[in-house]
Amino acid sequence: MVPKLCGQDIELGNFVMGTSAGHRSGAEASRALLAAIEGYPRMRPAVSAGPYACPCGCGREMALPTRTNLQDWGRKWLESGACCYIDLDHLELATAETISAFDQVACTHALLRVAQRALASVNVARPASARITALANNSDRQGNSYGSHANFLVKRSLWDQIFNTRLQYLLYLASFQVSSIVFTGQGKVGAENGAPDVDYQLSQRADFFEQIMGPQTTMRRPLVNSRDEALCGGWNGSSPSPLNGLLARLHVIFFDSTLCHVSTLLKLGTMQILLAMMEAGQVDRSLTLDDPLAAVVAWSHDPTLRAQAELEDGRRLTAVEHQLRFFDAAQRFVEAGQCDAVVPRAREIVALWGQVLAALHAGRAEELEGQLDWVLKRSLLRRALGRRPDLSWSAPQIQHLDLLYASLDPDEGLYWAHEREGLVTRVVPESRVEELTGNPPEDTRAWTRGMLLRHAGPDAVEDADWDWVRLLVPRRGGVKVPCTIRLRNPLAGARRHCEAVFADAPDLETIIDRLTVRSESAGPDAGAVEALASTATARETTH
């Protein structure tokens, strides 16, 4: 097994208030927010598609870049090891990699803080009639869904088993995800995408899944995504990186955006444990659902948690009963010490998982108001309906409150109001969240990525990705030499590996020289950092 390093991508719903649906409101909003985030540009668009009228009606002209990837435009890298970019007119936030699910909760909230500050900065200069709104949710109530993706490091052999050789592994994973909505759903008023009408449901994503497996993310969405981007080396000259044959990234598009700490921790931590069990060959085929796509809608549309779905063997279970079967197996696995080396604090995750399922199974969901998003949101909406008996679940006012739950504006976002009042159960302290708004986690390659950006500065950063950073390094005589630092191993480049490289370094040239020497002296199995300097005598160093 390998450590279950994880990360998240959070697509925001963003638009300009007061504009009609026919305008490109999302384009203006996302680009304004991205411009307000300090980072290191991956793309510097110099050519535009020509002016178009600003959708806020202010009379200004705007320009969009041409010849760019509309699903990955304007990517900026942050010193925290995270990045932000625009995906189809949505601002997307991608957290730094962490090994601990607890650290990932902190990284997620830290990056949301960065987006909140950008939102506040943008709106200060805008008229109230053209204020930008950003939502950490998954549906715009206009039939569109945008993603919240989780990513997990797995062995390449497990990835192949899931998608190529063992159908039962694919169905086992899909079935687990489907019933996990009892703690991973954000909650939603109504239904979309042709699903049967409902007052309130557990998951915002449930109505939008249309097939079991596939590589796509924006149409006919699959329960299990088969995109194969390892992000751990790719090609090294003319031959693939050895790590690319050993490691893979499981790209999970199933989950809702979650704000409650406990929801987010369980979303990530239980998946870490499940994937460790799968790598150990512990797959219980009796838990496979007969029709996972029908089950996710049936279970999501019943917040009483009494709806049942059929397993392959004919048994019928509620979503909570189904999760309890996974929990029992996971608890035995963790207590036997089989997660110790790959999932930090696995016993704490299992204990919390068990407590949440026990409360749900006993019909005491209200006790989890400060822990699960769908429970908290439902409670808030019920209170609103109690104060306004003339309204129903389908009333525009209730639908509006549904959206406001996830607003990033701290003055209107219902979640943030409850967090400020201490009504949300925290699994990481605010001090840790604030620390990670500007600093990278220390136990993965994100630390070296962040330190390279910090020491290089924006003028020296030419380009970057998850597994490399390309710099223009000043050399003697004032010449700037292109240099690529390769971070092929996501588990290497941690602070303990590379802190000495940056300590007391007078300039970027010294850091690069140290990295090269360290790479040459460490040997092929050290797994820290590789450097490639494109000079006449340079060579790629590997370790």
Q: What is the C-alpha separation between 290 and 299, in angstroms, rounded? A: 14
Q: What is the C-alpha separation between 456 and 445, in angstroms, rounded? A: 17
CA 446, chain centre distance (Å):
15
Q: How far is CA 411 from CA 416, 417, 433, in A?
A: 8, 7, 19
87 is catalytic: yes
- Kindly name the residue from 87, 207, 256, 467 that is annotated as catalytic: 87
* Residue 257 CB neighbour total at 10 angstroms: 28
The answer to whether the beta carbons of residues 19 and 54 sit under 8 Å apart is no
Instruction: Please choose, from the candidates 259, 286, 302, the residue with its C-alpha nearest in 3D space to the C-alpha of residue 113.
Output: 259
Q: What is the C-alpha separation between 465 and 459, in angstroms, rounded? A: 17
Enclosing H/E stretch for 124: helix 101-124
Cβ partners under 8 Å of residue 178, min gap 6:
223, 289, 292, 295, 296, 299, 319
- Count Cβ neighbours within 10 Å for each residue of 89-114 and write b for 16 or more, e otherwise: bbbbbbbbbbbbbbbbbbbbbbbbbb
Q: What is the C-alpha separation between 35 and 39, in angstroms, rounded? A: 9
Active-site residue set: 87
